Structures are given as C-alpha cells and as structure tokens.
Homo-oligomer: A and B are copies of this chain.
C-alpha cells in the first residue's frame, strides 16, 4: 500500500484529490451496533469548513458527507463504511499556472520527483482537502469513544507568538472565537496578529492541543506501538504539522527527574497521579490520566509576497501566489488533530481487547 491506509483494527482508507470528482474514506473494522447517521459526520466536517471568518479562505466548500455503505436501520453493521464528499466548488482555472513551477513549502517538487508527474490542480492529493476523509472517519471513531465515556477537547493554544493564558482557560470560549482558542483575550490578540500578517501579504502558524479524558488505564502497546508513538505518527501525518509532543513534551527535556515524575497517590482506594507531566501515558500505555498531545503547525506556505523558486525548465524565477488562501491554517486544523487523535484511540481500544486471557474468555468462553 502507498500510505493512504491508517490503523490496524479501526482501519481507514482515504482517497481523493482537491480537484477530482470527490473525496472520501472507507472505514473497515468499525464494530457493529454503533448508532451512526450522516449528521454525526457532518457535525465534524462543518468544523473544518472554510469561509467561517475573515481569517480563513473565502472559498465556499459545502462538503456534504454521504454514507454509502455499512449502516442499516441507523446502526453500523460491522461491514465497511464508505463515505463520500463530492467536490462541487473547485475552480480548476484558478490553478493553471501552478503546473509550470514549484511552489515553496508545497509538495509540487517532491510529487514530481516521486511519481514523475502530478495532478497540479490545487495541490492534488496534498491539498488540505485530503483531510476531509480523516475528519469523516474521525467522527465515527469519536462516536465510539463517546459511547465508552471518553471525551476529546481540542483547541488552539497559540497563533504565531500569541499564546493562551492557562489561568484564563475556558472551555465554553473555544467555539466562540474564529481561532477556537479557550481564552477570549488571547483570541483578540490573535486576530490582530493575523490581521498584521495579512497586511504584510504573509501567513502564520500556531499550536493545537488535544486533551482526551475518560481514558481507561491500559491502552497502548509496550514497544513500537506505544500510544504516544501512534499519536505522534498520526498527528505528524497532517500536512502542515512539524512537531508533536506529549504532556510536557520538549519541556521535559530541560526538567529534572524529581519534578518531572508524577507521584502516584491513592484516594479512597482509587490510584491516580498527583500531576500529569507525562500527558497520560507511562511506558506507552495509558495511565488513566488525561491524554495530552500538542502539534506545531507551520505558516501557510501560499503567500502573496514575492518568493524565489524554480520552474519545470529549471530556471530561477520569482512568483507571488494569489487566490483564496488561508492566512493561518491553525483554526481549521483543530478538528483534523482531533480526528487523528480519535482514530488512534479507537484503534488502540480495539487492539487492546485481546491483551489478556481474562478478556478473551469473557468474549469467547463457553
């Protein structure tokens, strides 16, 4: 396979280019009996829709999800769930020039090197629209987690150099500002920051954080498939992500053992941790605390400012990229990070079912 398949048990296969006929995903391995409707998918897709504020592209993408298989009488049947979103608002004309040169920060050059040629319309398979399949499948995964009492909370914690103040954290605030920040004051500063970027024909990046609560202890595998390793691979596979950390992450590299270790504590017979520097995993296995994963997202590479590059003839040229591009991709990446986290968790959940004979007997014992 060439890498468009993710997950070992809750396994998804995404497909589609930005300017092809459609984009979609097939989910293989979803347990039977999960209530699932197109509205569940749509609610997630709507969170990545552009055109919701002046800080995202003005393109209108309706992006209606349709379930083509795998459900019956409102429930999953255990067979593959195929979901499709038809591309309706793509204008191929917008992108004709791109065919002739390599945009800096984009995959144009590397696609040509890998495949010998490329679908140059709007980034093709490397377009941000590729994430539609991830988000649709992530909505199914999130529904499983929710049924089991888990919850994902994902938000922007930095835009450029504007960071949220943890003291002002408000979960309710997340949906109220265009950046999905849990701090209204930071969101206002972020707006000014992005505005300045736009005026300078430039773009910016930021940080997205996902916290998963209600996770039972014991999820994840001890060696290569550590829960944090899987989360890192999943989140880093999102187009613009350049770094991933768990818990204190890079901060832990500068800490001392005495302050970085989380003490265990027993409260009325229930074992927990006093702190959560580890971000919810020990030895790659969930410890019952919240899972905390953070992603660094690079500035949008499409900018109107002039840039040097090379055309297909190998000549040095200067370009400036116009069109309806997001000055910052971070707000739209929030739901994509959440989707990848949900997919990873659902996969670990199903994988972990056979970790002990006691579980095997519970299901198959006669």
What string of 1s and 0s marks CB contacts (under 8 Å) between A62-98 and chain B? Answer: 0000111110110111111110100000000000000
Neighbouring B residues of A110 by C-beta, 8 Å = 217-218, 220, 281-283, 285-287
Query: How long is the Cα–Cα vector from A220 to B257 in the complex, in angstroms?
Result: 36
Q: Could you give, for residues 346-366 of chain A, a 1 whenever the CB lies within 8 Å of some chain B CB and a 0 otherwise?
A: 000111111111111111111
A104: contacting residue among B248, B253, B262, CB under 8 A: B262
Indicate whether A239 reaches chain B with its CB closer than 8 angstroms. yes
For this chain, the copies found in one complex come to: 4
Contact present for A282 and B109 (CB under 8 Å) = yes
Assembly CA distance A32 to B119 (angstroms): 11
Complex Cα–Cα for A46 and B99 (A): 37
Q: Which residue of B lies closest to A79 (CB)?
A: B125
- Measured CB to CB, the closest approach of chain B to A206, in angstroms, equals 6
Say yes or no: B253 contacts A285, CB within 8 Å: no
Structural contact, A253 and B245, CB atoms closer than 8 A: no
* In the bound complex, CA of A67 to CA of B17 (Å): 12
Any B CB within 8 A of the CB of A233: yes
Whether the pair A226, B237 counts as a contact (CB closer than 8 A) is yes
Q: A364 — which chain B residues lie within 8 A by C-beta?
A: 148, 216, 349, 352-353
C-beta contact mask, A338-350 vs B, less than 8 Å → 1, else 0?
A: 0000000000011
- CB–CB B261/A105 < 8 A: yes
- Count of chain A residues with a beta carbon within 8 Å of a chain B beta carbon: 172
Q: How far is the CA of A28 from the CA of B125 in the complex (A)?
A: 13
Contacts of A204 in B (CB 8 A): 255-257
Flag whether A184 is at the interface (Cβ < 8 A).
no
Excluding A15-B26, A126-B284, 11 further A-B contacts by CB distance (< 8 Å) are A1-B28, A2-B78, A3-B221, A4-B222, A78-B114, A147-B357, A207-B253, A225-B237, A232-B244, A236-B246, A263-B309
Q: Is A190 an interface residue (CB 8 A)?
A: no
The reply on A124 being an interface residue by CB < 8 A is yes
- Contact partner of A2 (CB less than 8 A), chosen from B4, B203, B221, is B221
Residue A315 interfacial (CB < 8 Å):
yes
The reply to whether A354 and B350 contact each other, CB–CB distance below 8 Å, is yes
A-B CB contact pairs (8 Å), 11 listed? A1-B28, A14-B223, A16-B80, A33-B357, A72-B117, A72-B118, A77-B118, A160-B254, A242-B279, A243-B252, A353-B363
Q: Does A211 contact B (CB under 8 A)?
A: no
